[in-house]
Amino acid sequence: MSLSRSAEALDAIQVEDQRPKLPGRLIIVEGIDGSGKSTQLDLLRKWLTNQGYLVMFSEWNSSPIVKGITRHGKRRQLLSPMSFSLIHAADFASRTYSQILPALQSGAIVLADRYVYTAYARDAVRGVNRDWLRRLYSFAVEPTLAFYFDVPLEEAMRRISIGRPELKYYEAGLDLGLHNDPFESFRRFQGLIRQEYECVVDEFGLLRMDATESLIHQQQRMREMVRPHLDGAMRLPNPPTADAWQVASLLGHNQAERRPLLEPGE
């Protein structure tokens, strides 16, 4: 799929964006790398599944349609900020119409690890026009709940440094010329993204979570906010009986033994 064809397809999608209210629920998480959002979303998924709900998971930059193009562009360092933005938008459009919308139409709960707000933050840092980005993603389904996991930059970098020995070119933001050292470039890149998220959180009303709190306390808060939105969501006929905490091996788990979250890069 060429970038020009991707852009044309996205324009066509935006024109037909007049949909009735969907019976499912869309719950998304956002945050910089090292914020712990993926761990919390996985715990929420286990809990909802053990409550008997039909749950579908989707993550950023995972559509098989554009994976080859993305991989080739990254490997050869061919991606400009605009081409990077369009490739991610094509990925998001593919997942929206092949995965997310069908699941929501069936009444399922869709959990998304990163959503359009990731593009609003990362692409803006790379210099892409903010208003253009919002028009590009105007076809996106509005989330039922959108969580932003707020973590101090230095704490996020500490978590990343423990378990990620090597940073990739675009992941580290080396294309921006922030610094020659990959880790320092990554730190500055994530700092700029964090600043951009502050504007996005205010503009779209994302629910701010303190990502420095204990793993269990964050999950309890998420569940409290999710529960009021579950009435009427589709359930499976024979739900499992195990509690999600036990599934995740968290009950009685020593804090010092927990490994820090490692977020996937771009």
> What does the pLDDT read at residue 79?
83
Helix boundaries (H) for the chain: 3-15, 37-50, 64-75, 81-95, 101-105, 116-125, 130-136, 153-163, 182-204, 215-226, 244-247
**Domains of the chain listed by start with CATH number:** 24-232 (3.40.50.300)
Which residues are 149's β-sheet partners? 209
**Alpha-carbon distance 69 to 219, whole Å?**
36
Tell how far CA 64 is from the center of its chain.
17
pLDDT at 16: 45
CA distances from 39 to 9, 171, 196 (A): 34, 20, 23
Q: Which residues of the chain have pLDDT under 50?
A: 1-7, 9, 12-17, 244-265
How far apart are the C-alpha atoms of 102 and 94, rounded to whole Å?
A: 12
Task: Say what the pLDDT of residue 240 is.
Answer: 58
pLDDT value at residue 67: 78
Q: What is the CA radius of gyration of the chain?
A: 19
pLDDT of residue 192: 97
Q: How much is the pTM?
A: 0.82
By the 10 Å C-beta count (0-12 exposed, 13-18 middle, 19+ buried), 251 is classed as: exposed
> How much of the chain, in percent, has pLDDT values that exceed 70?
82
With contact defined as beta carbons under 8 Å apart, do 43 and 248 qualify?
A: yes
What is the pairing mode between strands 55-59 and 25-30? unpaired
pLDDT of residue 239: 61
